[in-house]
Amino acid sequence: MPLTTHPTAGPVTETYWLSQAWLGTHAEPDVLLEVAGGRIAGVRTGVTTPPPGATALRGLTLPGLANTHSHAFHRALRSTVQVGSGTFWTWRETMYRIASRLTPDTYYDLARAVYAEMALAGITAVGEFHYLHHAPGGTPYDNPNAMGEALIAAARSAGIRITLLDTAYLSAGFGPRPSAPLEPDPHQRRFSDGTAEAWAERASLLKGDDHTLIGAAVHSVRAVPADQLATVAAWAEERQAPLHVHLSEQTAENEACLAVHGRTPARLLADHGVLGPRTTGVHNTHLTPEDIALVGSHGTGTCMCPTTERDLADGIGPAAALQDAGSPLSLGSDSHAVIDLFEEARAMELNERLRTRARGHWTAAALLRAATADGHAALGRPDAGVLEPGAPADLVTVAMDSVRTAGPVPRLAAEAAVFAASAADVRHTVVAGRHLVRDGRHTLVPDVPRALAEAVAALHR
């Protein structure tokens, strides 16, 4: 077909030839993609061979994946928390011990390695749900955003985009009445700014750029008193920024909220202006039918994190019902039990099959949309996640000739990617037109496994 171009595109700086490209509804063979200024400037189909000077990406090329929910430091828990038994609440004690050992320098080292692991998995943008703000004991660093800026720098060094969701975390839980929340315990003091106003003052000092967006988060209704929720919501509204919140992840939180406030967490958030189309509820696991309708009617998104939700024995969230109610779905790797958005996508479908004993709740196209366009929109980048002129030139190429993906006919490439591929099948990752992962090797972090091993070991000494 004729070259489709973006009307404001400048001079072409890179050209990629894609043996197969996912164009939102189907896998199209032989696609030429031109890049200018870090964005897709033109798309042409029917180009049967790579033209001179073009970089060939062989496999199925998708828009870059969006990891909508991450706690980078949880990567240091992998395997450690698989010993023994327990619940979310016992897991949390191990998490607190790791959190207490982090400094800006060690957090940079760990996050850089984690974000490089994400790039190897085809993730081009991450939503970092960041609440580890201060030094142990709660004393602010000389630079009050030293920890957040370490995450921003780590993402830049690893080559991926970040939406830093600076998180308000002010209390240890519900108190005996709404006006008397529990004070943060010793582990949580470094998370807290004391008040939502103080949180907003500190968060306002953070700066974004082409690779960095600054958003906000309410950790949960147990961690932000009801009378301070509106302050966080207003901060995000003023900046038209993404706002995320852990919602109904645990039945214990629901029960405590009902006991103190006489309403569910979803209703409490709605009553204080937190729900809305720029808001994403993370997990949304234990919602009532009324909650589902409430979330959907506000256009609030849902980020499912199936590998973490099953790792922590949290339960299976009502993803299909939420989407039917009007809640866009996205995906996150959360605690990084694994970092693999293909696994998250198929797990959402397979969990629903187990719950309902029926198959086929989402097509491969719908699951890819959750992993790409809807995930990027939840992170404040509604123009990303598509292979169209004007979109960011963020791409991931999945091998179609591995032991997992070989065999299906070309028109079923998307089904092979979603239901059989893994992060290990990612061959190339491109961010802003820059070839970040080439033939399975990171171009900026030459030895990602070693970087991970050293960063994690430093926190377990």
Active site residues: 283, 334
Distance CA 324, CA 200 (A): 34
Strand order in the sheet with 395-398: 4-5, 39-45, 27-36, 14-22, 55-63, 395-398, 426-431, 434-438, 441-442
Distance CA 399, CA 444 (A): 21
422 Cβ partners below 8 Å, 6+ apart?
A: 340, 342, 343, 404
278 SS3 class: coil
Distance CA 440, CA 453 (A): 19
What six digits make up the tokens of 17? Answer: 């030839």
Q: How wide is the angle at C-alpha 278 spanned by C-alphas 436 and 174, nearest 5°?
A: 110
Pinpoint the alpha helices (H) of 250-385. Answer: 251-261, 265-271, 289-297, 306-311, 319-325, 341-356, 364-371, 373-378
Distance CA 375, CA 346 (A): 15
Distance CA 336, CA 195 (A): 30
The residue to which tokens 């990171």 are assigned: 442
On whether the CB atoms of residues 395 and 64 are closer than 8 A, the answer is yes
Pick the closest to residue 188 from 215, 165, 220, 162 (CA basis).
Answer: 220
